[in-house]
Structure 1
Amino acid sequence: MVHILLTELKQIKKEIEEEIQHSYLEKYVKNPVIDEDKLFLLTSIIDNTSFANSTKRQYIITTMLVQIALDTHDLVVSKKEEEPVLTTKTRQLTVLAGDYYSGLYYHLLSRMDDIPMISALASAIKEINEYKMNLYHRNTGSFQEYLDDLMQIESLLIQRVAEFLQRPSIKDVAGEWLLTRKLIQEKNCFQNKGNSPVFEHLFKRIRPSSTYKQMMVMIESLIESKISKLEVTISNLPIHFHMFKSYVQSVMYENLTTNSKVAEEG
């Protein structure tokens, strides 16, 4: 069964790549990253509905196009901080690419004539953008408030789809899992590149003068607490999410194994 799902994910990912292909944009803008964690979670939710396979596939692809559009617009904000010499043309084309991917999902949904799904996605986009405004432009607020906003940005789109499909049991897990995954990714970025926009904001809210070692201890402690909470929440998921549960457990184990190796080397 896991093999079947992985094969399906590979095929869906290929279809998404075909949808977003644009020769001119590819000259100036990096190909968007398809978030495989969100794709796996989304497919696990939608596969367990009674819709026709063609409808399931369209729901997965259109939702992922929304996610890609949101992620692409984020690149303009992050690159402005990291690469001040980024050309105006590239920045403008990155914005255009995000708009292009947004337009694709509206086009696909219009072909399905699915007004309720369009409404659910549009509402999620509006809410996510409001959380992003809080995250990017609010210099005050607690450490926990920042984490809460980050979790909403990472998970709200899939949570709204789960609500639309009447699969509420996955909502809390989706939030905790996608936040934990984001923290693990940012930790790896911080270790490998020495910077992480997410952790820079987090540390401003706790200990701005922390050393690298102290920061890593805080990061690991935060991730471990999230993983402990996840172990409890995923155990309560319905049986039809068993493949998603296995996937989450494998990633958690991989993170713990990596931490053990780093500790031994340190």
Structure 2
Amino acid sequence: MKMSDMITYTIVFLKLSDHRYLHDHITRVSIDEDKTYLLINSIQDDNLREEEEVKRVTAGLLVDAALTTHQYVPLHNENEQREKEKQLVVLAGDWYSSLYYSELSKLGDVGLVRVFSRSIQKTNNAKIRLHERGWKDLEELEELITTMEATLIQNVGIYFNQRSIADFAGHFLTYRRLLDLIEHAGQDKEPFGSARLSPLFAIEPTDRDREDYIQEMISNLEVVAANVKDRLLASYQDNEAALSTQLKKRFMELVNK
């Protein structure tokens, strides 16, 4: 894929998702380049014209935008302005959801609509479990983070029979999120309620010291990250031939952080 393709996807996404009132009041969701490359690699079908692939990738980006936007709903409303912001963020997420469905309905791709719907449900279920700290051990914590981060890409890859991309995406996106959580959990002055650290740090614990909880979570995340990195390295070796130049470059940047 040429770099100009990323510009094309950005333009198409911004044009489709433009809503002046919403974007005058809340921050517009930006395209996740890693997920864009993964979606492009996943949606490869000799029976699809390039235009049809572009529309499906764009629909996937809209689904991801909806999931990301809902994550940024303010958790603590202190005044009327914050309440308005919360309502608009929820509305923006619903707006992105309606756009992806509209795009796919034009194509008549019922199968992909179902893939997206199942992915949204599974992703949100994982977020709820993480929000309520509903994991019994570190293995389950890792599984929930992977589900939250990679379910959409994995399911799309499987749907288009690109299982190498689905396997790589799970480890890559999980490791990427773990590194971000570890870095910012230790740096943010107010990690609890932070959208970036949500849902793991959604609510401040009431049954223990907050600093102890933060340090314990960071230690746990570091253990999980070390395990995921090993699997990511193995997945890269197994699936390198299926990865685009851009994904190989991003892999090297990530593992060398």
- 1:38 paired residue number: 35
Which 5+ residue runs of structure 1 have no aligned equivalent? Answer: 256-266
Q: Which has the higher helix share?
A: 1
Q: Please tell me whether residue 124 in structure 1 is matched to residue 127 in structure 2.
A: no
- 2:238 paired residue number: 236
- 1:248 paired residue number: 251
Q: Please tell me whether residue 67 in structure 1 is matched to residue 69 in structure 2.
A: no
Percentage of matched positions with identical amino acids: 23
Q: How many residues align?
A: 244
- 1:9 paired residue number: 6
> Residue by residue, what CA displacement relative to the aligned partner does 1:171-200 show, whole Å, maximum 9, x if unpaired?
222111111111122233234424244564
Q: Does structure 1 retain, via aligned residues, the 8 Å contact 2:38–2:165? A: no
- 2:194 paired residue number: none
Q: 1:216 to 1:131 in 2, by over 3 A?
A: closer
Q: What is the TM-score with the length of structure 1 in the denominator?
A: 0.80
Q: 1:26 to 1:140 in 2, by over 3 A?
A: same
**What pairs with 1:200-211 in structure 2 (closer than 5 Å)?**
200=201, 210=212
Which SS does the other structure have where 1:49 is aligned? coil
Structure 2 Cα separation of the partners of residues 216 and 122 of structure 1: 32
- 1:29 paired residue number: 26
Structure 1 Cα separation of the partners of residues 213 and 160 of structure 2: 46
**What pairs with 1:8-157 in structure 2 (closer than 5 Å)?**
8-46=5-43, 48-50=44-46, 51-76=48-73, 79-81=74-76, 84-85=78-79, 87-139=82-134, 141-157=136-152
- Higher RCO (CA < 8 A, seq sep 6+): 2
Residue in structure 2 matching 1:161, options 156, 159, 167 = 156
Structure 2 Cα separation of the partners of residues 123 and 215 of structure 1: 29
Which 5+ residue runs of structure 2 have no aligned equivalent? Answer: 192-196
Q: What is the TM-score with the length of structure 2 in the denominator?
A: 0.83
**What pairs with 1:209-228 in structure 2 (closer than 5 Å)?**
210=212, 219-228=221-230
Which SS does the other structure have where 1:227 is aligned? helix
> CA RMSD for the aligned pairs?
2.7
